[in-house]
Structure 1
Amino acid sequence: MKKKIFGVVTLCATLILGACGSGNEAGTDSTSTSNAAEESEGLVFPISTSNDDEPIDGGVLEVAVVMDTQFQGLFHTEFYQDAYDDHFMSPTHEPLFYYDSDFKIVDGGPADLVLDLDNNKATITLRDELKWADGEDVTAEDLIFSYEVIGHQDYTGIRYDNNFTNIIGMEEYHAGEAETISGITAISEKVIEIEYKEMHPGMMQSGGGVYGSALPKHTFEGIEVADMQSSDPVRKNPIGFGPYVMSNIVAGESVEYLPNEHYYGGKPSLEKVVFRAVPSASINEALNARQFDLVYQMPTDTYDSYSDTEGYEMLGRMQRAYTYIGFNLGVLGEDGSVEYDPNAKMANKSLRQAMGYAMDNNAIGERFYYGLRTRATTLISPVYGTLHDPSIAGYDYNMEKANQLLDDAGFIDVDGDGYREDPDGNPLVINFASMSGGETAQPLADYYIQQWQEIGLNVEYSTGRLIDFQAFYDKLKNDDPDIDVFQAAWSTGNDPSPTSLWGPNSAFNYTRYASEENTRLLAAIDSNDSFNEEKRKEAFDAWQVYAAEEAFAIPTLYRNEVLPISNRVTNFTWAYEVDHNPWGTIAVTAETR
């Protein structure tokens, strides 16, 4: 076999630093499924503050959002477009629905949801005491107003999608053929009913089909929909029904917040909260100087440089994201459907599986990411609680098995040059694509090529080098024939259904893999039968087993994110599933850090 091409990144077996906690009831334990999965390996973090001292009355909490640009300042759910604005809205804007460790909607939040499967209807009921931060009641009109804004033909945001067109009358309203949305009705001042064309199990999920926000109609009086995104109620004086209200916005730089005296959960204890945008190059220095109580978007590839910063503890949780190795197996047809090619270069399942077993992703997580990323086993992340199947081993590091798979499948080095030919005896050159960016991109990609060459596969960079982000995804979208294998990643959101990523009509299915069985198993996940929790779990498990066996995409790494928080902060949890808004309870136990 060929020599290693990048000996510096040769990886030994990783040290298992701890086992991650298993799932618990919402908000009851610091090692919930929001932290990491039971069978995952890597660092273990608390999900909630450990400080149990008595909170003081008042105090100013200072928060950093690490970003190397200015925030856009689109401060309503209907208009924001990135995670930065989302962080700045977290003290002021709440979603309508709470959810459990599977991201399934539960009662108890600002609103409750009831699905009527027989009649294709959803009923949303607001809390009686729910008020906007200016004291006005949150009403059915505000719920309907959010649908009318998003569905309007002059709407400038990004929320209008098939979840909205699934509502009876929405398309007619969007086209300007109707003044109202016929499928949405106000039953009372606090209740609306929505009629859908069809129901699916994703509607049980947060963000999975039933829109989870409201818009204060009275603050937009006289403002045309086309002008709303740039208006004062969005950019200068937005209000929500969360624990705090934005009191001073310095565009692109900072936001100050005061307690919302009308908050349904009771007036918060802090005197004031301040959020600031902070460049990544200076956040470590700021932590060492104890300038902030809490830091969002902390870089994970420099974790070792701040992990022991005095005066802070590190909260952590698993992200709704994973990295994967994908194989080019076809094209996307003109009609938007996937056209799988059984004669594609990577169509041999044993070849794909062998490449999976040649990767030591446990070691990669430890050496490249300090244990903040861990070996992935299925295409359904453990962050989705019981819907992830922990019994699937995935592709653990096994060079002997990788070589045996290739031998048995007829990939043999015929001419003695150290590289295997294909089963027909033809030369086999595999073109690999990966993105540039960050300190780990090049050595990680080099490592994968090194390992594949170790099992006799002639793998080369498809362009001779790494590819920048935009060009990389343009190539995947356009089925670049010079790419046989690629490394990519997904942010998966709250709805765990894999159909939008791996389905037969998904443009995001960049592997272009399709089969009757894959389509059948995905349809079972999204079928009405899967409104039954047991059936849904069975459907998710069956697809994960199938996807692992077919190896059209091999998940490589699950990701954790870190939240540095001052030792003086108390009563804060970073869990996804909570029975309260953490910004309503957060407090400090000392005047200064």
Structure 2
Amino acid sequence: MSNTIWRKSLVLLAISVLMLAACVVQQPTVAEEGMVEEEAASTGPPQGGTLRLMGHHDAFSLSPGLGAIPSAIRPALMQIHNGLVEIDASNAVVPVLAESYDISEDGLTYTFPLREGVKFHNGADFTCKDVKYTYDFYRDPENAAPVVGVLSKIDSVECVDDYTAVINMVQVDAAFLVLGAILRIVQSDYHAEVGEEVYATAPIGTGSFKLVEWHPSQFTLLEAFDDHFRGRPYLDFLRVDVVPEASVRTIALESGDADGTAWPLLMEDNVRLANDPRFTSISQAGAGPFLIPLNNTIPQLSDKRVRQALYWGLDRQRIIDDLWFGQAQVAHSNLSPIYPDYYNPDIPRYEFDPEKAMELLDEAGWVDEDGDGVREKEGERLSFNVHVGAGNQQFIPVIELAQQLWADIGVEIFLVETPVAAILDGMRKCEMDAAMIAFEHGAIDPDPHWMMHSEGANNFPCISNPKLDALIEEGLSYASVEQRQPIYNEIQAMIMDEAPVIELFFTHWPAIFNAKVKGQSLDAVDTNRLWREIHLWYIEEE
């Protein structure tokens, strides 16, 4: 299958782009393959300066092998490495370290002619050796990389020569190009020498910025890479500070001590600053839901009737209206409505109905036998912990309201503030009862393998459902929307019926920048695309 034909298939998978006028401000000219065209120095964007961003928690790893990349560390991580391809701001798959790509007629062989003349930050030449090493390392189950699930369909990686990589698949994987081929490439000799643990703190990539300093729980500092194959970035430095409190991030923006935020402010501040001419506000529909994964293996949550009752007993529209200033929409599926080819609007919906919730709990055998307001069954209280990122002022009020509403139906929960790294690790290991997270889709494919498959890299709900696994695998075995759509309709219906997680809402991801920061562009999917193009940003001083 030619590159062109496959791209046509991908277009059918792409999401409609919802752009605000403020999304593109004086963006530099970009060639088709994403390379910046040289402009005369007298008319081009100004060179220099430090872009100061803020995240709400630390960059606990800079490894390309992360399965889920928390929002706060994306601005740094995405500048250090490049993949063979990436998804650009218009949702098109574009070659990066690859010059192009070709997919065989049977969909089992991907051929990537590689870009020559690319340098790593340590001066080493980029070749196929680095591609093979990276894929072989991160797809090896013994290395326990969270990204391993995305690479599980790979049979082998071959180097035809120094600048031609061939990836052979065991079976067709419709999502590989948009999930697997974006894996960021490491410098093979350096990684082999220092190992993954050290590499995660001191990476060497081909990206537009290189690591200068990383001070855990304080800041990450990157410097422009002069020899980047796309050309030197306009900025000299990128600094991402850890500022857990949303109110403090707002103060830093308004005082001029920061230029932007990698995590939304409090909703009232987002709305207020969006109307302040000192700032540029970029807002988009969310592709990934805010949700509460439930540990389906613990006695309190192993019965789907209990999980369904939690849906019926939670007023999600009230959360949006009272806590999010209306800047979200209730999630009636694991897929956002901005996936027009795959979103299923006909799934039965959970509305707020406490009576229905209590009927289900009674039916499941959970009864308040001692009159203390909490239901019991076989000596177990219907009580569990919900973990929230420490200091997360967006999530804590949501769980506090859920705590009140669920108490009314006899369910007791405890809010536990926990470092984000510990939440992700604990959920992957099925060591936590539940947690509130924001799960952003970084690709243009509806595949839910990461979280909803029993072998998913982020199987946070700890589910093992052979029928759902089979449907997910079947959905990946076809390329066309016509073949995949009925499968994903069934997947969505099953996920909502089984309720392994509480899908809360799809928020409008706002990003606020000082108005002097220029060059941003943003599509309708998530913040992934925003941070990928920092090499095009610049600071326009008055």
Task: Calculate the TM-score normalised by the size of structure 1.
Answer: 0.65
Higher helix fraction (1 or 2): 2
Rounded Cα–Cα distance in structure 2 between residues aligned with 1:327 and 1:72? 24
Which residue matches 1:503? 453
Rounded Cα–Cα distance in structure 2 between residues aligned with 1:476 and 1:234? 21
Note if 1:586 corresponds to 2:514.
no
Which residue matches 1:556? 504
Name the amino acid aligned to 1:205: V
Rounded Cα–Cα distance in structure 2 between residues aligned with 1:79 and 1:476? 12
Which residue matches 2:173? 200
Question: Aligned pair in 2 of structure 1 residues 523, 291: CA closer, same or farther (>3 Å)?
Answer: same
Name the amino acid aligned to 2:23: S
Instruction: Note if contact 1:68-1:278 (Cα within 8 Å) is conserved in structure 2.
Output: yes
Which residue, out of 234, 241, 249, partners 1:277?
241
Name the amino acid aligned to 1:451: L
Rounded Cα–Cα distance in structure 1 between residues aligned with 2:329 and 2:281? 18
Matches within 5 A, 1:303-382: 303=269, 310-317=277-284, 321-324=288-291, 330=297, 347=303, 349=305, 352-382=307-337
Larger radius of gyration: 1
Which residue matches 1:447? 401
Question: Aligned pair in 2 of structure 1 residues 229, 287: CA closer, same or farther (>3 Å)?
Answer: same
Cα deviation, residue 25, structure 1: 9.9
Cα deviation 1:537-565 (Å, max 9, x = unaligned) = 22111111233234454312334443222
Cα deviation 1:28-61 (Å, max 9, x = unaligned) = 99725xxxxxxxxxxxx76724568997542434
Q: CA RMSD in A?
A: 5.3
Instruction: Note if contact 1:372-1:559 (Cα within 8 Å) is conserved in structure 2.
Output: yes
Rounded Cα–Cα distance in structure 2 between residues aligned with 1:134 and 1:330? 46
SS at match of 2:351: coil
Which residue matches 1:467? 416
Rounded Cα–Cα distance in structure 1 between residues aligned with 2:379 and 2:340? 45
Cα deviation, residue 312, structure 1: 0.7
Question: Aligned pair in 2 of structure 1 residues 47, 353: CA closer, same or farther (>3 Å)?
Answer: farther
Name the amino acid aligned to 1:141: K
SS at match of 1:257: strand
Note if 1:191 corresponds to 2:164.
yes
Matches within 5 A, 1:104-123: 106-111=93-98, 112-116=100-104, 118=106, 120-123=108-111
Matches within 5 A, 1:237-276: 238=204, 240=206, 242=207, 244-246=208-210, 249-252=212-215, 253=219, 255=221, 257-258=223-224, 260=226, 263-264=229-230, 268=233, 270=234, 272-276=236-240
Instruction: Note if contact 1:322-1:557 (Cα within 8 Å) is conserved in structure 2.
Output: yes
Which residue, out of 566, 571, 575, partners 2:519?
571
Matches within 5 A, 1:121-270: 121-127=109-115, 138-147=126-135, 150=138, 158=145, 161=148, 167-168=154-155, 183-206=156-179, 209-210=180-181, 212-216=183-187, 220=189, 225-226=193-194, 230=198, 235=202, 238=204, 240=206, 242=207, 244-246=208-210, 249-252=212-215, 253=219, 255=221, 257-258=223-224, 260=226, 263-264=229-230, 268=233, 270=234
SS at match of 2:522: coil
Q: Which runs of 5+ in 1 are unaligned?
A: 1-23, 33-44, 169-182, 332-340
Instruction: Note if contact 2:139-2:151 (Cα within 8 Å) is conserved in structure 1.
Output: yes
State the number of aligned residues. Answer: 502
Which residue matches 2:261? 295
Instruction: Note if contact 1:121-1:196 (Cα within 8 Å) is conserved in structure 2.
Output: yes
Cα deviation, residue 115, structure 1: 3.6
Which residue matches 1:522? 472
Q: Which runs of 5+ in 2 are unaligned?
A: 1-10, 29-41
Rounded Cα–Cα distance in structure 2 between residues aligned with 1:409 and 1:570? 58
Rounded Cα–Cα distance in structure 1 between residues aligned with 2:508 and 2:212? 31
Which residue, out of 483, 492, 499, partners 1:535?
483
Name the amino acid aligned to 1:435: H
Note if 1:48 corresponds to 2:36.
no
Cα deviation, residue 123, structure 1: 1.6
Name the amino acid aligned to 1:524: E
Rounded Cα–Cα distance in structure 2 between residues aligned with 1:522 and 1:161? 16
Instruction: Note if contact 1:420-1:427 (Cα within 8 Å) is conserved in structure 2.
Output: no
Instruction: Note if contact 1:59-1:271 (Cα within 8 Å) is conserved in structure 2.
Output: yes
Rounded Cα–Cα distance in structure 2 between residues aligned with 1:150 and 1:516? 26
